[in-house]
Structure 1
Amino acid sequence: MNRSLLAGAAIAAVLASAAAGYRAGTGQWPSFARALPETHAPDAHAPAVATNNDRKVLYWQHPDGTPEYSPAAIKTADGRDFVPVYEEAEKGFAGEAAPRRDAQGDRKPLYYRNPMGLPDTSPTPKKDWMGMDYIPVYEGDDDGGATVKVSLDKVQRAGVRIEEARMVALGKPVRAPGIAKPDERTLRMITLRADAFIEKLYVNENGRHVRAGEPLFRVYSPDFLRALVEAKSSSIAGVIGAEQKLQILGIPPEAIAEAKRSKEIAPSFDYPSPASGVVMEKLVVEGMMMRMGEPLYRLVDLSSIWVIASVAEQDLAGIKIGDPAKVTFKALPGETFDGKATFILHELDKETRTASVRIEVQNPDHRIKHEMYADVEIDAGAGEAPRLAVSDEAVIDSGNRQIVLVARGDGRFEPRAVQLGRRGDGMIEITDGLKAGETVVVAANFLIDAESNLKAALSAFTADAPQPMPGAGKEPAQ
C-alpha cells in the first residue's frame, strides 16, 4: 500500500484518538507528538502531507487558538485559513524545543504552574506525571489569590452574566392577610346618668343608621325632672349652679331649651343621638327601667374602616407610619381600596410571630363590613432616598459570610465580602464592600465561587511548601 496513504491514515487515527482523549477541565488537547506512532520515512516519490520550508505539518488549528483541529487545511466559517502546526512546534510544546505561541496572542507566559496546584513551576511547557499540561501564568495573573481566573470560553459556556451595582429606590411590597375592624375612634356607648324609664323606643333594631340629633327614645326620670324644675324656678344668682347640674346629669341641650321656653315642664323628653353611626348593639327594650350607667346602644361610624394586617416579623422593619397600601377584600373581588398605615402595634403575637399593622381605609358607602377577610399590600420604603444595591442573585450567602463576585475583565473575578441591608423588588442593599458602578456576577456565580474555594484550598494546602521563583532555569525534580 502506498506509504503516503498509510501516513495520512495514521494521522487521521491519531486525531480521532486525541479528540476522544480530550481531558475535561484542563482546556488542553493531548500532545500529538507523543500520540503519533512511529512511521517509516515517506517514499521519495510520495507527496508530503504538507510542508513549509521542509517542515512537516502535523495538523491545522483554528486561527483563534480555540480547540478546533483538522487533518487538512480548511477555512473557518468566516473564511479565514486554519493555522498549520508543525512537528517542531508540537515537540516544543512537549518540552523538547522552544515553546509555541499561546492562544493569548502576543503575550508570553512568565512561567507554568502545576495543574493540580502543587508547589512546583516550570519556565517552559511540560506535563506532570499524569500527562496533564502545566498551566501558563501571564503577567498580572499571579495576584496572590485575590482573584480567580476563568477561561473566556468557560465563561461563555457557563452563561456568566454581570450587572452594575447601582443606586436604586428599594420599594418592597409587603403582603399580609388582614381583617376589617371598626374604627375605634368612632365608637360611642349611649348611657344615662340617672335612673330612668324608657317610655318610647324610636330606634328598635341593630344595624340601623342614625344621624346626630335624631331621637333614639323617650325617657322619664325623676332626677331629670327635678333638675329641670329647679333650673326654671331658681333666682338669677342660682341659675348658673342649676344649669351646671343639668349638664352634669347629661340632659340634652334640646330638653333644657324646651323647658325654658314652655310654661309647664313636661315629665319626659326625647333623647337625641349624640353622634352619627350604625347601631352595632341594642341593649334596651321599650318600657325598661334603666339604671344609671347601664348601656343602651353601641354606635360606630362606618365611613372609615380599620384593616388590621398581620405582618411577618422579618418584614416589620421596612414599614413606617404613612406608607401607602392597597387592600382587596375576598367579598368584593376585582375592587381595590387605597389606604395607609396609621399605627403599628407594639407587641407581636408570640404564636404566629406577626405584628398588627393598622391600615385606614375610607368606606363612605358602607360596603366594607366588619370582620371581612382582606389581602393587604403595603408599599414599604416609599419615598426613601436611593440606596446602593445589586440583584439578589448576585449575593452568595452561606450563613456566616455574604460575598459578591466582582468582574475584573478578561475572565478574572474577585470574591468580595459585603454587608447587606434592606431587600426589596428583587434587589439587596449593599451597605459596605462595594461601590456604585462596579460590575458583579448575577448568573453562574456559584461555579466561579467553587473555583475560588478550590484555589484557596489548594493554596492553603501547599502554603508551607517551598515554591521556586518564576523563570527559574532549573526544573524541579519530578
Structure 2
Amino acid sequence: MTVAYASGEHDEHDGHDEKSSHEKSGHDEAGHDESSHDENSHEEHGHDEGDHEGNHEAEHEKNGHDKIDHDEADHKDNGHDEAGHDESGHGEAGHEDEEQSVKLTAKQLEVAGIVVKAINPQSVATEISAPGEVMLNEYKTTSVTPRVSSQVVKRHVKLGDVITNGQPLVTLSSVDMATAQGNLLVTGREWQRVKKLGRKVVSAQRYTEARVAHEQAKARVLAFGMTAKQAESFLKSGDASKANGTFQLLATQAGTVIFDRFIVGELIEPGTKLFIISDESVLWVEAKLTPAQAALVAPGSPANIVAGGNLFFGKVVQVHHALDEETRTLGVRIEIANPDDVLHPGVFVLAQISSINLEQVLAVPVNAVLRSPDGDWAIFIEHEAGEFEPQEIELLRTVGDLAVIEGIDSGTRVVTQGAFFVQSELAKSGFEIHNH
C-alpha cells in the first residue's frame, strides 16, 4: 500500500515535471537559456529521452529561426550594398558631366595667350553667293615661243615641273640664228679694233659705222632668242665654231610648267607655243553676278572661295564693265592665295563675296571656331574665370577673318584666341578621366 502510494505520487510528480519541462522548453523558445536545468530534472526522475528530444527539437527550431533572421539581415545588408553600388554608378555619370568643361590655371592662360571676350552684335557685310571658275593669274603667266624658225634639239623641263627664273627650258637650232651669230662675231672684232685705234686714227664715219654694225648684230641675236648674257659670253669666247645657230630658251619667271606640247626634232615656226609657265601661288576666280549683285560689289571687297570642302580667302580685284552676251551676267575677278597648290585652272567653285551693305550679327574670329569630336562646329565659352566649356554653334558664313555664327546669346564670353589649346587641354583631361 505504501509502495503503491509512493508509485502514484511519483507518477503525479513526473507529470508535473513533464509539464514544467514543457513550460520551460516554451520559455526557452522565448529566448531564455535554461536547458541545463531541464536536463538535471530529467536525470533526477529517471525519465526516458523523449522530453529531452522535445527540448532539443525546440532548440533546433530556435536555431533555425536565428539562421533565417541572419540570412534576412545579410540579404538586407547586400541590398544596401547594391543600392550603394547604384549610387556609385550615378556618381560616375555626374563625373562624366564634369568632363565637358576644363579648368585652366592663371599660369596656363598667360602662357597659352588665351583671350576671352564678350560677343555682342556687330556690323558685318551681307554676302552674295555666285558660281565661279578658277583661272590662271594672267599677270603671273608667260608663254614661251621661238622668235625664229628652229628645230628642237633638247628638252630641259617637262609638264608639271616647278622652275626658277632663268632656268634653261629647251635647246633650239636655227639657220637664221647661225647667220646672226656669225655676223655678231665679225662686227664685234671690227668694233674692238676701231675702238682700240681711237677717233684720232680712224675717221669719224668708220668709227660710227663699226659701232652701229656691232649693235645691230647684237640686237639681231637678242631678237632671235638669245639673252644679253648669252650674247656677251658668246662674244668673249671668240670661238667661230660656236656660231652654229644653237641656243637655249630660258625661263623669264618662276612658276610651274602647265603646257609643253612639242617633241624633240620637231621644226618650230616663229610664235609657236612651246611652254606656258604660271605662278599658281596666286590665282584668279571669275565669278558671274547679275548686274544688281555686281552693283553691291567693289574692288577690295573680301571674298571666300569654297572648293571641294576647302575654304580660301581672297578679295575682289576687278568688276567687268561689259555684260556677257549669253548669260547676261557681269564677271567679277577675285584674287586668292593658293600656297599649297590645291586649286588649279578650270575648277568650278562657289564664290561668297561681301557686299557694301551691312547687317548686325554675332561674329567671332575664324580661329575661334573648331570642329567638335562629333564633327559639328563649336566654340569655347567661359562660365567662370578660367573654366571653359565647348558650345556647339551653327557657322553661317565667314567674312574676311570673321565667322558669323548662331547658337549663343549676346554677351556670352567666348575664347577668341587660343581655342585650340583649350580644346587640347579638354581632350587631355577627358583621356585621364576615362583611364581612372
Q: Which has the higher helix share?
A: 2
- Relative to the length of structure 1, the TM-score reads 0.42
Larger Rg: 2
- Between 1 and 2, higher relative CO (CA 8 Å, sep ≥ 6) is seen in 2
- Relative to the length of structure 2, the TM-score reads 0.46
